[in-house]
């Protein structure tokens, strides 16, 4: 194998094809009606009704950016010992199957034809997360100029420190909540925004993406603000094919403003510790008044979409439950999400002990998401290293020996100044400073020879660098 070619491909951009249209909305609505009526799944009566979102025809990205996105987003996955390292190399393996070809981002021929089923499922999940986050950040940057969004694992956020909610996964393992919350912080003051994100991935065609988006309409419906309705959401389904990767995006509307203030006020309040939740969240079956919708469902149900299923439809839960955030706890929830976003960045950098300080206080009779026995409460493994271009990072270094005597070297971390702010419990200062790191680094490497590394720097200050050491 030409490991040099693999290394170079990680940093080469290719175009994702983006799709969002009224026609796609109609197909998703018809699929949801098929699930509800022909397959007797009443939970689909409680879905959100999607709308198209303005997207470009194509959006360029490189595999290294997808790898960093999925790496930060999955830091909270529950792990046994050594699983974090195993996940890193698995994610690198799957992201390395992204192959820029003639300007398009594609799935490599090897991955498209020879990956066995259980690896395809994992590949779809990891790449689905990374691609969805990359696309969602672009969409939100257009919708909310001046805001920078952090991704927070919804399972962790909703089960942590919130009494009365219980587990957010059913016993069968089927997701009944969305994948992520994206919390947007204004650089110059204003409203803090929260958007729900559901990520899907498959190796099939549009019909499978349509079925996945129909299910996502239920999942993003499961969180609401008391008296104000659902949060806004993005649903992203990626079709991974050798001919090219197509990303389908829809944007169910909702109430997105939970907290506002000047830049100084937001920084000051976020620097403070998080107290107990003012009013507990509730999880209930939606009432009958939520079953009716103004849309004429019969008019939509004019034909049935073909079924092309990569995941079992029979496992989808039979009834809906909606988590309600009381108005008195909206600001607390925004603050809690910001703390979890910081913890994700610290865990990505190997700073488990520092990350554990960002968990909410235990509720009376509740439980926390950053378990005392989890990797989030372990010793800090972060050390300092310099990636050039004036980028000083605190993080970890992982090495994979190669058959030809060379080594893949992966650095993961957080810009050192931001690391110090979080270690000093200055969350507000971190959020205000983080967006400038990427721009400073890009300006700093213009005069440096840096082509040997594939590097990705995020607006949260996280850094991923992959290099090939050919040895002797």
Please state, in angstroms and rounded to a whole number, the distance separating the CA atoms of residues 154 and 341: 11
Least-confidence region, from 5-19, 104-118, 142-156, 298-312? 298-312
Quote the mean pLDDT of the chain.
79
Provide the pairing of β-strand 14-19 with 58-61. Answer: antiparallel
* Percent of the chain with pLDDT strictly greater than 70: 75
pLDDT at residue number 79: 54
Residue 463 has pLDDT above 70, yes or no: yes
pLDDT at residue number 176: 63
pLDDT at residue number 54: 93
Q: What six digits make up the tokens of 122? A: 């994992």
pLDDT at residue number 70: 93
pLDDT at residue number 174: 39
51 contacts 25 by C-beta, under 8 angstroms = yes
pLDDT tens, residue by residue, 362-420: 555 444 444 443 444 456 778 898 877 778 999 999 888 888 788 888 999 999 999 99
Name which of 192, 164, 360 is nearest 279 in CA terms. 164
Mean pLDDT of 160-184: 59
337 contacts 287 by C-beta, under 8 angstroms = no
Least-confidence region, from 9-13, 63-67, 105-109, 359-363? 359-363
Mean pLDDT of 63-87: 78
Please state, in angstroms and rounded to a whole number, the distance separating the CA atoms of residues 321 and 247: 28
Least-confidence region, from 209-213, 279-283, 375-379? 375-379
pLDDT at residue number 393: 94
Q: What six digits make up the tokens of 178? A: 């969305």
Spatial neighbors of 104 by CB under 8 A, at least 6 apart, are 14, 15, 17, 244, 245
């Amino acid at each position: 194998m030409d490991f040099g070619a693999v290394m170079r491909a990680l940093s080469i951009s290719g175009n994702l094809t983006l799709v969002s249209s009224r026609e796609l909305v109609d197909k998703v609505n018809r699929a949801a009606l098929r699930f509800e009526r022909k397959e007797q799944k009443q939970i689909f009566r409680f879905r959100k009704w999607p709308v198209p979102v303005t997207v470009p025809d194509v959006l360029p990205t490189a595999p290294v950016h997808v790898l960093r996105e999925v790496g930060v987003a999955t830091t909270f996955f529950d792990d046994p010992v050594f699983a974090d390292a195993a996940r890193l190399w698995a994610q690198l393996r799957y992201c390395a199957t992204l192959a820029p070809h003639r300007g398009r981002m594609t799935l490599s021929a090897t991955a498209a034809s020879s990956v066995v089923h259980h690896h395809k499922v994992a590949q779809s999940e990891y790449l689905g997360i990374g691609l969805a986050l990359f696309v969602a950040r672009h969409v939100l940057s257009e919708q909310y100029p001046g805001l920078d969004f952090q991704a927070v694992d919804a399972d962790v956020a909703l089960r942590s420190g919130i009494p009365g909610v219980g587990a957010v996964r059913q016993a069968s393992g089927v997701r009944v909540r969305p994948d992520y919350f994206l919390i947007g912080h204004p650089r110059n003051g204003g409203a803090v925004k929260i958007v729900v994100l559901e990520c899907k991935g498959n190796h099939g065609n549009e019909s499978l993406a349509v079925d996945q988006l129909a299910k996502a309409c239920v999942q993003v419906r499961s969180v609401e603000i008391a008296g104000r309705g659902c949060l806004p959401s993005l649903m992203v389904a990626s079709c991974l094919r050798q001919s090219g990767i197509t990303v389908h995006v829809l944007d169910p509307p909702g109430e997105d403003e939970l907290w506002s203030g000047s830049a100084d006020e937001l920084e000051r309040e976020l620097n403070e510790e998080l107290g107990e939740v003012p009013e507990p969240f509730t999880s209930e079956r939606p009432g009958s008044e939520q079953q009716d919708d103004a849309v004429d469902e019969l008019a939509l149900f004019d034909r049935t979409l073909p079924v092309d299923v990569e995941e079992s439809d029979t496992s989808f839960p039979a009834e809906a439950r909606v988590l309600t955030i009381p108005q008195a706890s909206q600001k607390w929830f925004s603050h809690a999400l910001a703390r979890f976003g910081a913890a994700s960045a610290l865990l990505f950098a190997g700073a488990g002990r520092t990350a554990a300080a960002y968990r909410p206080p235990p509720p009376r009779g509740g439980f926390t998401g950053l378990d005392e026995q989890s990797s989030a409460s372990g010793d800090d493994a972060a050390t300092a290293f310099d990636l050039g271009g004036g980028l000083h990072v605190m993080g970890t270094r992982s090495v994979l020996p190669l058959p030809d005597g060379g080594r893949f070297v992966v650095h993961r971390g957080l810009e050192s100044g931001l690391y110090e702010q979080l270690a000093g419990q200055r969350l507000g200062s971190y959020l205000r400073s983080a967006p400038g790191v990427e721009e400073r680094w890009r300006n700093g490497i213009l005069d440096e020879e840096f082509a040997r590394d594939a590097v990705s720097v995020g607006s949260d200050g996280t850094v991923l660098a992959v290099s090939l050491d050919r040895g002797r």
